[in-house]
Amino acid sequence: MTAMTTSRTVRATAGARPVRPAPVVQGARPRAAQPTGSSSTLHLTRRGRVVVWTLAAVVALGVGGAAGAWADGTAAAPEVRRVVVAPGDTLWGIAADAASPGQDVRDVVLELMALNELPSGGVQAGQTVVVPAR
């Protein structure tokens, strides 16, 4: 195949401006051209990644905590009664009254100390002590 070529003169139109080259900025880096029409990817900064991971951790802990609370919610809470300490009462006496027949009173005293968050076995008149109902 051969192509025909013709010589044709092109005239400048009246009032046309001459083309000037774009100014060159010193120290500027060339940028990579982004493809048009393609799906853009999400670029996160370091702060953005920290925020995303923090939110994911909060959601995971929330779901885990809710699941744990739901699982624990099915068990019945132990019944307790409140005893107001009278003058002359001791934790040993309250534990002896609360103990089941044949149960060691020392174990009940330790249970009462843990249940009421007592640092020692001493109680004062007027103090309220939570005792498991038996």
Residue 28 and residue 100: Cα distance in Å, rounded?
87
Beta-carbon contacts of 52 under 8 Å, excluding residues fewer than 6 positions away, are 44
Query: How far apart are the C-alpha atoms of 51 and 45, rounded to whole Å?
Result: 10
For the chain, percent of residues with pLDDT exceeding 90: 39
Q: Identify whether 122 is part of a domain.
A: yes
Lowest mean pLDDT, pick from 44-48, 109-113, 118-122: 118-122
Is residue 125, in this structure, part of any structural domain at all?
A: yes
CATH number at residue 95: 3.10.350
> What is the residue range of 97's domain?
80-132
Q: What global pTM score does this model have?
A: 0.43
Say if 55 falls within a structural domain: no
CA distance between the termini of the chain: 109
pLDDT over 80 at 118, yes or no: yes
Q: Is residue 9 part of a domain?
A: no
The pLDDT score that the predictor gives to residue 122 is 87
75: DSSP letter: S
Q: And the tokens for 88?
A: 């002359």
pLDDT of residue 133: 81
**Does residue 45 lie within any of the structural domains?**
no
What average pLDDT score do residues 62-82 get? Answer: 75
Q: Establish if 96 belongs to a structural domain.
A: yes
Give yes or no for a contact between 112 and 97, defined as CB atoms under 8 angstroms apart.
no
Is 105 part of any domain? Answer: yes
The count of structural domains within the chain is 1
Nearest CA-CA partner of 110 in 124, 119, 102: 119
Question: Does residue 33 surpass a pLDDT of 80?
Answer: no
